[in-house]
Amino acid sequence: MADLSLADALTEPSPDIEGEIKRDFIATLEAEAFDDVVGETVGKTDYIPLLDVDEKTGNSESKKKPCSETSQIEDT
């Protein structure tokens, strides 16, 4: 490796900068083949939405009752 100094950096001409490579990232991903080995892809028929416990049991008390910590804000 060559020994470089500040004088070398100031006197040597800068190398030609290569042009920026532009590519469409999404198009590149869509063009790649995808093997669903683990079973990550879910179709519309397999989708089961997750529900909160309160919505399943019909318990509406937690929705009506405000949190006591957030309703009592002190001015400082």
In a domain, 43, yes or no: yes
In a domain, 4, yes or no: no
Which spans in the chain are helix H? 6-11, 25-31, 53-57, 61-64, 68-71
Look up residue 72 and give its two tokens. 């009592």
Q: How confident is the model at residue 24 (pLDDT cuts 50, 70, 90)?
A: confident
Quickly tell me which residue has 């590149």 as its tokens. Answer: 28
In a domain, 54, yes or no: yes
Q: How confident is the model at residue 57 (pLDDT cuts 50, 70, 90)?
A: low
Instruction: Give the pLDDT score at 68.
Output: 54
Domain that includes residue 50, residue range? 37-66
In a domain, 1, yes or no: no
In a domain, 14, yes or no: no
How much is the pTM?
0.23
In a domain, 44, yes or no: yes
How many distinct structural domains can be found in the chain? 1
In a domain, 19, yes or no: no
pLDDT tens track for 3-23: 777 887 777 677 777 777 777
In a domain, 50, yes or no: yes
